[in-house]
């Protein structure tokens, strides 16, 4: 059981480039989340999904898009990266709607220069 796996672990992008971060979970979880973590800001929710084929905006969705074509995968896209998107990105998943814990990936450290 791998749990939640994020790919890649590190990436450096130039301003204006695009990239996709992949989150994969093998626990058959319905709910999946993308967060960004910046110093002093804690974790802020970017987008989330409550099941295959669904996505919804979180607290800071601007500049990001997501897709959940398969239940086990949640993709986070940056179409035109900006230095303000330099951050550590975490993916999480949980089984159900109520009273269930979330499991986190190890994070992707993204630098936009």
Partner 1 sequence: SQQGEEDPQALSIQEGENATMNCSYKTSINNLQWYRQNSGRGLVHLILIRSNEREKHSGRLRVTLDTSKKSSSLLITASRAADTASYFCATDDTDKLIFGTGTRLQVFP
Residues binding partner 1 (CB under 8 A): 4, 31, 33, 35, 40-45, 48, 50, 56, 58-59, 90, 92, 94, 97-99, 101-107
Confirm if 31 and 94 have CB atoms less than 8 A apart: yes
Q: Is the CB of 71 or the CB of 94 nearer to partner 1?
A: 94
Q: Is the CB of 33 or the CB of 75 nearer to partner 1?
A: 33
DSSP secondary structure of 29-95: -SEEEEEEEETTTEEEEEEEESSTT--EE-SS-TT-EEE-SSTTEEEEEESS--GGG-EEEEEEEES
Question: Radius of gyration (Cα) for the chain, nearest Å?
Answer: 13
Least distance between partner 1 and beta carbon 107 (Å) = 6
Q: Is the CB of 37 or the CB of 67 nearer to partner 1?
A: 37
Least distance between partner 1 and beta carbon 16 (Å) = 28
């Amino acid at each position: 059981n791998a749990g939640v796996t994020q790919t890649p672990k590190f990436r450096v992008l130039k301003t204006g480039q695009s990239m996709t971060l992949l989150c994969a979970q093998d626990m058959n979880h319905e709910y999946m989340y993308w967060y960004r973590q910046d110093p002093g800001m804690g974790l802020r929710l970017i987008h989330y999904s409550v099941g295959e084929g669904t996505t919804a905006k979180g607290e800071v969705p601007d500049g990001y898009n997501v897709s959940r074509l398969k239940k086990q995968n949640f993709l986070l896209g940056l179409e035109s990266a900006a230095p303000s998107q330099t951050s550590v990105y975490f993916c999480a998943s949980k089984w159900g709607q109520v009273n269930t814990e979330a499991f986190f990936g190890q994070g992707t450290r993204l630098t936009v220069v």
